[in-house]
Amino acid sequence: MALEPGDHLLLRLKTGDRRCRHCVIISGPIGLAHKILTPARQVRVQDFSEDTIDAIIPWDGETLPRRLAGHRSDAFLDVDSPGGRFTKEEIEDAVASAAGRPRRRVRAKSPPVHAIADAPPKDDEGDDADAPGASKGAEPRPKEHSGEVADGEGWYVVTGYGAALAGSAISLKGVEHVILGDQAMFMKSKRVCLAVWCRAEDVANRLRELRVRASGHPSERFHGVDEIYVDPAATPRSKEKDKDEVDDLRVLPCHFEKDGRRFRRLQDCEQEYVIEEFDDWPVDGERCISHSARELRRGDRSWLQHHDEWMTRSGVARNDRSSHEHKVLCTSLHHFTTYDQLAIVNLAGCEVINARRELIEFAHQQSPGAPRWDCSEEFMGFKESREGTLIDPKRLAHVAAVRGQKAKILEVSMKADETRAAWLRRGGSSTDAAPGVPSAPGGRKLTAAAKAKAKAEAKPGGAADGLDGR
């Protein structure tokens, strides 16, 4: 992509504020770099091949590109700065100045409104750089950098606010500040910001170094991490992890808005959900919250918008108990998704909340005024005790197994008694084993001996003779 003086660009950096920043090319290529004019009316030398640049979007300076249509808050344009929109004369003067040509003479009663100067950037609150008590004169520098200033060397914002973005050049001349080594603290809209003195090509490395030190973690943990998040608890997050380090499958990387508040849209969260299978998942049935989140994303809706839509189309009265419960459930899922930024598809609690929401909608589907709750156990995935008892299912299974064994033994004994009784009724001897009834060990031999003894007793003197003969 050939860049010519006067072209408008939108730059999005990988670090700091992720909004697309407006700039204008005011010079031809200087090696791999170009001179650009920022909305703060600063002239910078920008190398568009740096790995700190996430996206370069060309545009005409008037209509936002299609990818930013409907996302105006994701772009910081010239109209958002205190200087207002770039004028044609202003861009021509900047191009002429960058080329070393004399500027055109301005025939007006007052000087141009937008002058190209090294003034520090101002935000929408209109804070003045020349605050009372601020130092005047030349640009302040660290004591160890008292010699000649190299090209691109100066103060660069580490943690800023408003138009003073992280990584942007800033002038501390006339600004109340405190210099500590090669770092400086300064006030911006009643907030303390931090800047570091370095060369332009070293800005990305210095920002990374300072953020690693501020995170409280050893530098080895950030090896291979391209982007370091604002929240120290969320760092580091990279594809290559230590062997002993395990990702928490229940959370997502924490996203902060430009005002420092935590917020992430459901449409952004759903695309990062990865369902993990757990062997000890406590809820019976299919896991359905991923389907609900996917349908909401495809319809560009949130949990709160779904509640409003259901109330409008279901016919349930606003003062109905189910209406209030449905709102609480949807609000809980909304905060779990947008503020807590949890992976709700891997949370059993969120699965139960969503199942209850589905049950309410299903119960009122046929008759809004007379809901039916006969499918509650199937929807919720667990069975409630009507008596309020608390008994371990394993204990119930053990008791059932023991009682089953006892019942089986009793059944066999009762059948044996019935068979023996039937044998006796048919004229069988009590000493003979009944058919189908197992006899004791040695029972047949004892029965034969008993029969021989009975025959011997039937003969006179037979028993004694028979015994003596043996």
Q: Which of 116-120, 137-141, 344-348 has the lowest mean pLDDT?
A: 116-120
pLDDT digits (tens, 9 = 90+) for 359-371: 899 989 888 888 8
Query: What average pLDDT score do residues 171-197 get?
Result: 82
pLDDT digits (tens, 9 = 90+) for 289-308: 999 999 999 999 999 999 99
Query: What average pLDDT score do residues 158-164 get?
Result: 64
pLDDT, greater one: 377 or 139: 139
Does the pLDDT value for residue 431 go beyond 80?
Answer: no
Among candidate residues 89, 102, 96, 83, the one with its CA nearest the CA of residue 42: 83
For helices 348-363 and 289-298, angle between their N-to-C axes, nearest 10 degrees:
70
In this prediction, residue 124 carries a pLDDT of 39
pLDDT digits (tens, 9 = 90+) for 372-390: 887 777 777 666 666 667 7
Does the pLDDT value for residue 106 go beyond 90?
Answer: no
pLDDT digits (tens, 9 = 90+) for 43-75: 888 887 777 788 888 888 888 887 777 778 888
In this prediction, residue 388 carries a pLDDT of 66
pLDDT, greater one: 31 or 391: 391
pLDDT digits (tens, 9 = 90+) for 236-245: 444 444 444 4
Q: Is 265 in a helix, a strand, or coil?
A: coil
Residue 398 to residue 315: CA distance in whole angstroms: 49
pLDDT, greater one: 78 or 225: 78
In this prediction, residue 68 carries a pLDDT of 78
Residue 144 structure tokens: 């160890």
Among candidate residues 127, 131, 155, the one with its CA nearest the CA of residue 141: 155
Q: Which of 88-92, 145-149, 208-212, 381-385 has the lowest mean pLDDT?
A: 381-385
Residue 44 to residue 167: CA distance in whole angstroms: 12
